[in-house]
Amino acid sequence: MNVLDAARARIAIAFDTHERVLVAFSGGKDSGVCLQLCYEHAKATGQLHRLAVYHEDYEAGYQQTFDYIERVLDMMPEIDRYWLCLPIKAACSVSMHQTHWIPWDEDMRHLWVRQPPKKPYVYTTKNIWFPFERGTSGFQFRIDFAQRYAERHGRTAVIVGLRQDESLSRRAIITSQHRVNFLDGQKYTTIVSDRCTNFYPIHDWRTEDIWTANARFGWDYNKLYDLYHMAGLSIHEMRTASPFHASGQDTLKYYRSINPDMWAKMVGRVNGVNFTGIYGGTTAMGWKRITKPAHFTWKQYAHFLIDTLPPKTAAKVRTHLARFAKSWEEVGYGRNPRVIKAIMDAGVEVENTHAISKLCTKPDVYEIIKIKGEWPDEIDIENGTPFRHCPNWKAVCVTIMKNDFTLTYMGLGRTKEQMARRKAVMDKYQALL
């Protein structure tokens, strides 16, 4: 079965096993294809009344994206449509002073990048039908919205345009051997609650498949991709992520030429946008061939960078570094023998427990090692990812320059507090059942 037929079969299962199907539509190429596939299935089977779509609007973005969303939603009047302009808490990776920002914040109305669209399917704090708390995280709100929709309309399948080849973390959502919360043995699903199940119908598509489908079926798409193409980007470099999010930093600089009016407002909206727009994707942002002052070691440079951060941010970084160091020393992480040898050859003091890690899913042996001595200043692991394979001070510098103050770039997982917050969200909705 090819990926197109597989996606259509998965969407049919979503309709057959749930009362409603809700598409999460970002305005990008992946969610656009998901929406088109769902719409065609619903139309062909007389089920348009069971299909819905929602867009979570982050206020700032390319005008071409908003034009595309409006075109598509206007072309599908038979389905439920929700364009959500609400003051959620969104990640911000372009500023050392703001780890998050709040789109559509009434207190910042005078600085809004744009006004909410004037459409009957647009929802703000004035007409959303359920209690909304300002500053709710974007991740939690997506869960909130799907649950509230399901309360109104019945058991809901949420269609998400996730593809495995986008990142290793996305691949793990499908391939992890430790996942148990999927529907009827189908690993392209995640059961969120008794009311909601996430479906990933195009998880095995490649970028080339997306554009083949758009061309073959004549589907509308975000014309921003045409502008990216004219700017010289490959199809794998084109992103429509929120401009202040980490995944949108490399293409932030294109706002100045593609949407100059929007760019001018964005500079005044969030601290650090102009710097990232100029230097995103360069050594100044910690990419590519990062360098340091000659009189510093990487460790000294890392501490120097931390000292330049605002006090609260610096304290957060130090806390996460201490937590990461303790985890490596007391718990350890699984690494394959080739990586372990490279780490030891670099002079790092390692304790090999020879216990086999059950967290690694690739077809290889992963022995749990602990680092007992100092982290290396930097480390070179052939055909590997040294920033994640072994903690080192160069990786700390890059992480800080990327404004990643939770050390995600180095592979640090969630804290117990973060996991507790996630569990509280899940328990909250279980209690509503």
Cα distances (angstroms) measured from residue 162 to each of 29, 199, 229, 230, 322: 11, 9, 22, 26, 33
pLDDT of residue 248: 44
Name the helix (H) or strand (E) containing 198. strand 196-199
DSSP 403: T
pLDDT of residue 17: 96
Nearest-CA neighbor of 422 among 144, 140, 92?
Answer: 140
Q: Residues 166, 171, 172, 175: what is their CA dihedral angle, to the nearest 10 degrees?
A: 180
In this predicted model, what pLDDT tens digit does every residue of 371-408 receive, in sequence order? Answer: 988 999 988 876 555 556 888 898 888 877 766 767 76
Cβ contacts of 306-314, under 8 Å, gap ≥ 24: 306/400, 309/96, 309/400, 309/405, 310/96, 310/97, 313/96, 313/97, 313/99, 313/405
| Helices assigned H by DSSP within 280-415 | 298-308, 311-330, 337-345, 386-389, 393-401
Segments making up each domain of the chain, as ranges: 3-217, 224-285, 298-419
List all residues 6 or more positions away from 75 whose beta carbon is below 8 Å from its beta carbon.
220
In this predicted model, what pLDDT tens digit does every residue of 218-263 receive, in sequence order? Answer: 999 999 899 888 878 888 888 776 665 544 445 556 655 565 665 5
CA 316 to the chain's CA centroid: 21
The tokens for 386 are 């040294």
Q: In what order do the strands lie in the sheet with 367-371?
A: 333-335, 367-371, 350-356
Whether the Cβ atoms of residue 416 and residue 302 lie closer than 8 Å to each other: no
In this predicted model, what pLDDT tens digit does every residue of 280-336 receive, in sequence order? Answer: 444 444 444 677 888 889 999 889 888 877 788 888 889 889 998 999 999 999 988
**Alpha-carbon span 220 to 225, nearest angstrom:** 12
The lowest-confidence range among 139-143, 241-245, 409-413, 425-429 is 425-429
The lowest-confidence range among 110-119, 195-204, 259-268 is 259-268
List all residues 6 or more positions away from 215 whose beta carbon is below 8 Å from its beta carbon.
none
Count CB-CB contacts under 10 A for residue 77. Answer: 10
Overall average pLDDT of the 204-220 stretch: 97
Q: Which CATH class is domain 3-217?
A: alpha beta
Which residue type is seen at 402? K
